[in-house]
Structure 1
Amino acid sequence: MPETVRFRREGWKPVASHREDRGIVKVVWLQGTPYEMGFQHGTLLRNEIDSLPRTTLDAVSFLGRHLGLASFAKKRCFNDVIEECEGLVAGAKGTGMTMSAALVFAFGDVFQEYFANTLPRIFNDGAGFPQGVLSDVACSQFIAAGKATKDGRLYHGRSLDNNGKPNEYWLKHPTVFVRQPNDGIPHVFIAVPGVVWPNSGMNAAGITIGLNTAHPKNITKLATTGRSHVQMMAHILRKANSYEEAKAFMQSQRRMAADLILIADGVSRKAGVFELIARSMGIREMGANGVLYMANHFVSPEMQGEDRDPPSRSSVIRHERFKQLLEPGSPHSRHGKIDPAIMIQILRDRINPFTLNESPSTIYDDNASIATNGVVRQEVFDSQRLLFWIATGEVPIPKNPFVGFSLGEMLNLPNAIPCQPLVYQ
């Protein structure tokens, strides 16, 4: 079977903008300038954007327009993001998606940290309100490559989690955006209609990326100038031809909030976890054993004391279970045997590493295992071959099939590799 190589634009023609639904997954092809891709997004997914609760859109527009959040975001957004928001608003005209709302959503990761996590915790801790209102953070990712896998390839697994009550909009509208910018590398965002950034994604050069939430130790660890992490991820997918290029970009940017971002390169088989806070960054790179993993707390020595202490019980549990399943020497280890099927088994794992009790398969969120942490979507990437599989649908997500996609085929690349198997049950 032919191997993929770094993307070459010469002789390649973008696929015309259109939409295909594959079960519950919406797949939209976008092509052109940022404005054109935004307009196509708004047009092709107009009905889904229109299904956003009007109270939500009105509230976000109000905050953006009257409290200055849209202006705050616009001053800190990449120019191409602003242009794409303008196209999105034009394409989705009549849905309630205003420019103010689009900009607030485009900077949503920063605003979520400010207004949904750090500030509420201050009021919760200091104003006499009952404790335990805020949910634990969520999301899990891991890499296996080299000695850890059957064939030496690099595989990237990702679980997008939403603790507490499932987000119905995210469950109903999983979307694969096949993005073909005039000035960059074609790539996929995996997200939802109405946002111009990825939760995770892959580009045609073999780079994959995903974000896990983290929280700062206190408000002094945040900043008011810098970039949105999800917008930085979008830039990497559009521009980075290698892990080293992605790493250099990450090191060049000022930041505002706290997160963990995993970046992997299926061609060079390099990967790193970037532990981020406004003024500090730690990088954990994959070593000779070929495994790397992260939950929602910082592990690198240089980032100790920068995030919330103690870490959530859920984050510690998932991190420890990854250690048991991925590192060599553990009686639970899958090291040396990992392929896409084993990656999926790990994402479906319901074992508490400390008690070795197994959560029931019907559980959505008990904070006790990788698979029972409020999962709303799971993915496995084989980025050397430009393949990926997604589990979506009704909760609990880990029980659902993983449906395959070939980015090479979706882009009509020469020597594109078909996705086999197309479905993992």
Structure 2
Amino acid sequence: MREGEVFIDDKKNKKYWEKDGKLSTLSCKNGFYILELHGNPYERGFAHGMLLKEQIEKIDIVGYYGGFLESLFESSDIIDKIPCFLRKTSAKVLEQWYYSPLEKRCLEETKDEMHGICDALGWGKRKRKQALRSIFAPDILEHLVAGHLKVGEETLGSYYLAGCSAAYARGRALKENSDVIKNFEDYALLARNLDFPGVFVWRNPTIIFAHPTEKLTILEKGKMRKTDEIKQPYIYISTAGFPGFGLTGLNSSGLAMATFVCLSKNCSMEGMSMLNWNNYVLTHARSMRDVREMAKNPDLKCMSPHVLMVADGKEALSFEVDSVNKDIRNSQFDIHAQTNHFFSPLLHKQELKYPLLTDFTRGRYSLIYTALDNHSGHLTLQQMINIISCNLNLKEGKTALTGDIPSQATTITSVVFRLAGEAWENYDISKNEIWVASGVPPAVCYNPYYKFGFNKDFSWDEENQSPSVSRSADPFIGNSPGFIPFNDKMRKSLEYLSLSQEEIKQGKIKFAIENIQKAREYFDDPGYLYIEALIHLRNGKEGSKKEIATALQQFSYLEKNHSFSPAKDTALNLSIGRCYDLLGKREEAILRYNNIINRNKLSVHFKIAVSKSIQTPFTIDQINNSFDYFLYGPLKFYKENSD
């Protein structure tokens, strides 16, 4: 094997890359790529790029995430209002406005690692920019939401209802001597789903073992100061070409971490960027006490609102943060749960609340926490997988792939951490394990979970093997007459659902309808019909009465035959009223609007939207094209008049 060349060992199904005496490797196991990267940030990035070059170039995940803002601009209503000769200039100004502050605040080590990947692939200036911007995709989305979605708006994307979730159990909540986990008197389980747009580019699941050689730098008095301590090893669960900074990881001190994007008015362009901030916590903290101390550091600010859930074998906490406030929520009664929302009164007050999204995130939190609480003392790895992959619509008592408790169609990684509870001074990382869902999205949480163990130096233990674990055919939280075990037809339906999402982003409404109809052919989930009706209503913008009549027929069928959460039911009635308005049936529309306005606990969004519709009939020009939230494309509850 020569230095500076990739060596392939076909017998071991392994690749090697060595440079300046630092050996990095790529292995394949159970459908996963396992990267062992050694060196400083640039060297680790370069080895990453050399070992996974083919996969990175084929999928172009960097192009997908790095081009978010450009796609937004090209698909929005804004572009139609700008003269053709100014559009390119306007796009550049918009890009500079959003990206420049992020790039300035990005840690140098993050830039170096991404540039290492780019250099290994021979990418030029534009691609290098995209690569760096791709890792800020969650930040970009949060800033777009905070800046563009006003009270009274809702988006079509909300009806797909994606969202991360986590369940934690320790000590007395766990069943002793479970079939899979034995000989650990003091341990905890953390199950975590990561949901994010882009299921069709997240095709190469990768477990990245990073073994840094650089000195640790700490934030002190607003500046980064280098220490004499070497940065601790860590892993991320990610995909080829996407290092995964700060999303789902574990460090060699036994701290596991999961990130949850939240929406808040407190979203600024000052302070450290979100993904750097999370990566900083994971790589610097050696104990939960360290995490709490970091929360007290006034210099450690965050540009983007989110929750960082951190756990070890003894406890879990949710570190809530926006650009102004910080707070910590501790685990209680040996269990803990988290979805995409704030609990702290300070942070919750400034949270952007959209009815459908709030219904979903709060509802899913309630489901997870209740399941943990009801089965405390009997929880096992198997049951934690059951909880994190639940797809039961509790309101109807039936299986639901979208709806109140959906299937997590956009789950791109799902993992269960088994965390040993020893004191840090005597810590043995080899007593930890991760169980990672195999295969590719959508909905990887329904696939088998494979175990990955560690050696004492925090490298991958290739000999630590065991049978995979899958969700139960009839999960204990789903024992109802309407429960249907997840099957291949459901999986196929979710693929078409995801295709429909991608086409809505691109404004391909006709194809979006065709694919949601194909999804219904495989599994006729009521959520699919709900989405199809909304797209037909959106397509009424082109002046087609037939599209609006189809939407009305489908909404009416749903109202008669299915039950939905309060926000979704209200939105359903609002949509029916709008269909009547667009078909010239004003009296029927008014009846619908009055029925909504008299409901108890109606959210501010709906009050504004319905009051506006009572005063003035809903018209075609109030349906716009802008792709605001997650680029799925909004269907606004109302649109302010230009005057």
TM-score range, shorter chain: 0.7 to 0.9
The one of 118, 138, 143 equivalent to 2:146 is 118
Query: Which amino acid counterpart does residue 154 of structure 1 have in structure 2?
Result: A
Rg larger for: 2
In the alignment, the residues of structure 2 paired with residue 376 and residue 146 of structure 1 have an alpha-carbon distance, to the nearest angstrom, of 29
Structure 2 counterpart of 1:248: 293
Kindly provide the CA deviation profile for residues 187-215 of structure 1, in whole angstroms up to 9, marking residues without a partner as x: 11111223331420111210000011211
| Structure 1 residues 119 and 412, CA gap change in structure 2 (3 angstroms) | closer
Aligned: 1:317 with 2:342: no
User: Which letter does structure 2 place at the counterpart of 1:30?
Assistant: L
SS at match of 1:423: coil
1:95–1:76 Cα change, 3 Å = closer
Pairwise CA distance, 1:314: 1.3
Evaluate the alpha carbon distance shift between residue 132 and residue 150 of structure 1 in structure 2; reply closer, same or farther with a 3 A threshold: same
User: Contact (CA 8 Å) 1:64, 1:70: kept in 2 or not?
Assistant: no
Residue 202 of structure 1 pairs with residue 250 of structure 2: yes
Structure 1 pair 60/89, CA: closer, same or farther in 2 (3 Å)? farther
Task: Report the equivalent of 1:401.
Answer: 448
In structure 2, the CA distance between the partners of 1:72 and 1:349, relative to structure 1 (3 Å rule), is same
Call closer, same or farther: CA 1:64–1:260 in 2, change over 3 Å: farther
8 Å CA contact 2:199, 2:410 repeated in 1: no
Shift of 1:264: 0.7
What SS is found at the alignment partner of 2:138?
Answer: helix
Amino acid in the other structure paired with 2:413: R
Task: Verify the 8 A CA contact 2:138 2:261 in the aligned structure 1.
Answer: no
Match of 1:382? 418
1:169 aligns with 2:201: yes
2:105 aligns to what SS in structure 1? coil
- Relative to the length of structure 1, the TM-score reads 0.81
Q: Is the 8 A contact 1:64 1:101 kept in 2?
A: no
Closer, same or farther: CA 96–400 of 1 in aligned 2, 3 Å: farther
Summarize the Cα distance change of 1:371–1:54 in structure 2 as closer, same or farther, 3 Å threshold: closer
If asked which structure has higher relative contact order (CA below 8 Å, sep 6+), I would say 1
Q: Which amino acid aligns with 1:297?
A: H
Q: Which stretches in structure 2 are left out of the alignment for 5+ residues?
A: 1-20, 71-90, 177-185, 214-229, 421-430, 471-643
What TM-score results when the alignment is normalised by the length of structure 2? Answer: 0.55
Structure 1 residues 293 and 37: alpha-carbon distance in aligned structure 2, compared to 1, 3 A threshold: same
Q: Which region of structure 1 is more displaced relative to structure 2, 206-215 or 182-191?
A: 182-191
Please list the CA deviations of residues 363-395 of structure 1 after superposition, one character each: whole Å capped at 9, or x if unmatched.
Answer: 3xx143264453232110012222001113254
- SS of the residue corresponding to residue 390 of structure 2 reads coil
Partner SS for 2:368 = helix
Preserved CA contact (<8 Å) 1:198 1:234: yes
Decide whether aligned partners of structure 1 residues 338 and 16 sit closer, same or farther in structure 2, where only a CA change above 3 A counts: farther
The 3 A distance-change label for structure 1 pair 94 and 85 is: closer
Q: Do the aligned partners of 1:391 and 1:397 also contact (CA within 8 Å) in 2?
A: yes
- Cα deviation for residue 421 of structure 1 reads 3.4
The superposition leaves residues 239-281 of structure 1 with CA deviations (integer Å, 9 ceiling, x where unpaired) of 2211111232244311111111100122xx1210122211112
Query: 1:94 Cα shift?
Result: 4.1
Match of 2:308 among 254, 257, 261: 261
Change (3 A) 1:342 1:121: same
Q: 1:55 to 1:192 in 2, by over 3 A?
A: closer
* Residue 147 in structure 1 maps to residue 172 in structure 2: yes
Count of aligned positions: 385
Alignment counterpart, residue 67 of structure 1, candidates 95, 105, 116: 95
SS of residue paired to 1:313? helix
TM-aligned CA distance change 1:42 to 1:346, over 3 Å: same
Q: Which has the higher helix share?
A: 2
Identity fraction in percent: 21
- 2:155 maps to which of 132, 138, 153: 132
Unaligned runs of 5+ in 1: 1-13, 126-130, 328-332
Structure 1 vs Structure 2 CA RMSD: 3.0
In the alignment, is residue 211 of structure 1 matched against residue 264 of structure 2?
no
User: 1:99 aligns to what?
Assistant: 128
